[in-house]
Structure 1
Amino acid sequence: MIVLPRQKLWLRAAMKIAAQYQENAARLYSLKSLPTFAWDRVERWERLYQKASRYQYQAAMRICRERLQQSFDYLFRECSTFRDELIQSSQHEPAPSLNTLYAELCALPNEFESVEIDWDEQEIVVLTQSVVLENIDLGTFEIRFRWSALSDSQPYRIISMAQTGEDDVHHPHVQADTLCEGEGKIPLKRALTEGRLCDFFLLIQQVLQTYNSGSAYVSLCRWFNVVCADCGDSVSREDVCSCAVCEHTICDCCLHRCSNCGDLLCASCTDKCNSCDEIYCRDCLSTCDACDECCCCSCLCSELCPACFNESEEEDHAPSEDSSIDSTPVAPTTSETSASQETASVEVQSVCLGQADLPA
């Protein structure tokens, strides 16, 4: 019998998975020890009660009777738990055989276009068909079954290859890489328990092709909508843009534009000029050297805001104390007033030397 290289890989993977099934089965079928410690406690209090009754120690008899009753109750609970585990172990499915697992792996390429083995992650990886829900193409998905996590409640991941959604929801029923199984939970668990790996992958693909608006993380009617980072509303992709600074998505109603460079901004990345109250980005604003207030380049003068600049101008044109001249007239003294009055009362005659008055 000639074994092809591809079949050798499937056989190697089947052996790894079979060993994991055997390990899980051994853990499920194993029983804890019989509750002999509980019976030892019963025997101890029974001996103490018998000893107290021989000597008629009433107080000791009452205490030993109560403790003996409590020990019996504890013994019954432990025996009941052991019995339930024994019954449950008989209900476990036997681990699938190596031949079954090998046949299931070999059947996967017949159902899926791409089937790979990720040895580093210990995963069987299949690529689904393109998922189309209500005429919305969500692209293909990877189903990554990790055999080392076989005992986990969900030992597989769902990875979107198209990344059509937003954040961590790229399928209405997949958040991050976890599938909301819904009604497929029981059939998936049954198929995995029985080792029907091909059915297991096909069931997951079928769940991905099903849409339930009541349990969707994001409804399809809002699939092409995004959330505005400022107001939190869900709006169409056509009515949003990205902030030039933080790159957050903002709607048209919350959009701001820098009055200088014209960049589109969200509310948290904008600032106002304290002089003209126009909106600017922080790169287009400067600070006044005097008061450190934000101001645009148009309002700044000599690196000062208008208020500080006017105050500086007033100080520059104000006269200093040394150069100031007292313009208040000084009142003349009494002696100076008298002298001036006498001078004014004397008639000044012009003296012509060499001339004499002639009689008329």
Structure 2
Amino acid sequence: MKNEIKQDYRAAVDILQSLQGVPISKPMIALDESFDQCRRWRRRLELATAKNWNAAAIDAADRLRGTLDILRMRSTHAIDDLARLTQPRLKPTATSVYRDIEGLRGEFEDVKVDRANQRITVQTSSISLEYVELGSFEICLNWKFIKESSPYEVLAVEPNCPSSNDSVTHPHVQGESLCEGEGSDAIRRALDEGRIYDFFCIVDHVLRNYNPDSAYVQIEDWNGISCKACGDNVNEDDAVGCCKCETELCLDCSTSCDSCVDRFCSECISSCDGCGDDVCQMCLKSCDDCGDFFCNNCLFEGTCDDCITKQNDASEEDRRKAEQTVATVHPIRDVEAAVPA
């Protein structure tokens, strides 16, 4: 217990030094990174659109929207950083920061103070938004960068990601970055004033609330399935799996085999060379004569109708030739028989 008290107080002193000694970082550094990401996803979207890669275009559009949201968030942080330079704020002390750390131990079940890596990490209780269980999250503050725009990370303990985007662990968390929304100013002010307890509680509050206007993935689409053909998100009950390769599709992007009635993706479905019906590759059989592929209805004892017709035509032609040969040979024999010896 005494060691924990000493550790917490020394951490409070370290945090106070970071607040007093580290200048506010230039906000344009984070903005430059976001600009580069936006340009990269915009180029991918333009390429996919030009080549009619629908699924890739939808994915690039979603990624671009996410990076634009982060750019908007960082732009807001940059404006706030500049405004805070002229705002009066509370002066923290080592004692006030220490009491905040002790308050965290009473508020959260799991609190870790890591002086070696200059981090405080708390674990939230399980979070549920509109009947979607997202589990617990770790909020990790790196106090070395406490005066920078984003000195903390939010990590899912056991991620429950939507099927459409595995980088999203919460409607407002992409990667390890939280879209703070209306809580942005309160979070930044709490950090500037060394109110560590308030900071963690505000972030926890943001995680427990849902704003559909700023969500990376809408909560109603969380348990849906992304169609691998068109990219649309469909309800899990309405999704169809290709019976051969198990690719998940929406109903419109799957095709029913006219022979076995199972559904397949465009790569695993073909057409009968005879009637043109949609037939899966497992139901197609090759003609013994021509080698083309047909459904069962277009084959008779392993032979297609065209080949049967050709065989019949050939047999008829052979029969006619045989009759002509017989008709030509027999009269000659009759004449020879009539000549006297």
Fold similarity call, TM over 0.5: yes
Aligned match of 1:24: 22
Stretches of structure 1 that go unaligned for 5 or more consecutive residues are 29-87, 344-360
Aligned to 2:236: 237
Q: Describe the superposition over 1:172-220 as per-residue Cα deviations: whole angstroms up to 9, x where unpaired.
A: 3233432221111111111122332221111011112223333333444
- Distance in 2 (alpha carbons) for counterparts of 1:176 and 1:219: 16
Structure with greater helix share of residues: 2
Q: Residue in 2 aligned with 1:106?
A: 102
Give yes or no for contact 2:164–2:225 (8 Å, CA) kept in 1.
no
Contact 1:158 1:179 in 2 (8 A): yes
Which residue identity does 1:275 align to in structure 2? G
1:212 equivalent in structure 2: 211
Matched, 1:167 2:172: no
Q: Which has the larger radius of gyration?
A: 1
The aligned residue for residue 64 of structure 1 is none
Contact in 1 for aligned 2:162/2:221 (Cα 8 Å): no
1:255-306 CA distance string (max 9 Å, x none): 4345667654334432223235444444554666876644457756798755
Does 1:184 pair with 2:183?
yes
**Of 118, 124, 127, which aligns to 1:128?**
124
- Give the secondary-structure state (helix, strand or coil) at the position aligned to 1:125: strand
Deviation at 1:238, TM superposition (A): 2.3
Partner SS, residue 209 of structure 2: coil
What does 1:72-83 align with in structure 2 at a 5 Å threshold? Answer: none
SS of corresponding position for 1:25: coil
Against the structure 1 CA distance between its residues 292 and 325, is the aligned structure 2 distance closer, same or farther, given a 3 Å change threshold? closer
Write the distance in 1 (CA, Å) between the matches of 2:253 and 2:202: 44
Separation (CA, whole Å) in 2 of partners of 1:123 and 1:295? 67
- The CA distance in 2 between the partners of 1:293 and 1:119, in whole Å, is 73
Secondary structure at the residue paired with 2:163? coil
TM-score, structure 2 length as denominator? 0.58
Q: Following the alignment from structure 1 to structure 2, what is the Cα–Cα distance between the partners of residues 258 and 124?
A: 58
Residues in 1 aligned to 2:93 and 2:258: alpha-carbon distance in whole angstroms: 73
Report the Cα distance in structure 1 between the residues aligned to 2:282 and 2:10, rounded to whole angstroms.
61
- The alignment yields a C-alpha RMSD, in angstroms, of 4.9
Structure with greater contact order relative to length (CA < 8 Å, sep ≥ 6): 2
Task: Give the corresponding residue for 1:193.
Answer: 192
The aligned amino acid for 1:188 is: I
Structure 2 alignment gaps of length 5 or more: 27-83
* Identity level (%): 34
Show the counterpart of 2:39: none
* Structure 2 equivalent of residue 140 of structure 1: 136
CA contact 1:227–1:235 (8 Å) conserved in 2: yes
CA change 1:272–1:209 in 2 (3 A) is same
Aligned residues: 277
Q: In the superposition, relative to structure 1, how do residues 119 and 268 fare at CA in structure 2: closer, same or farther (>3 Å)?
A: farther
Taking the aligned partners of 1:312 and 1:184, their CA distance within structure 2 comes to: 81
Aligned to 1:270: 269
Measured in 2, the distance between the counterparts of 1:134 and 1:239 equals: 21
Secondary structure, aligned partner of 1:205: helix
- Which of 156-165 and 116-125 deviates more? 116-125
Say if 1:310 and 1:153 are closer, same or farther in 2 by CA, change over 3 A: farther
Gap change, CA 1:98 and 1:246, over 3 Å in 2: farther
**Letter of the 1:24 counterpart:** V
Question: Which TM-score applies when normalising by structure 1?
Answer: 0.55
Whole-Å separation in 2 of the counterparts to 1:95 and 1:268? 66
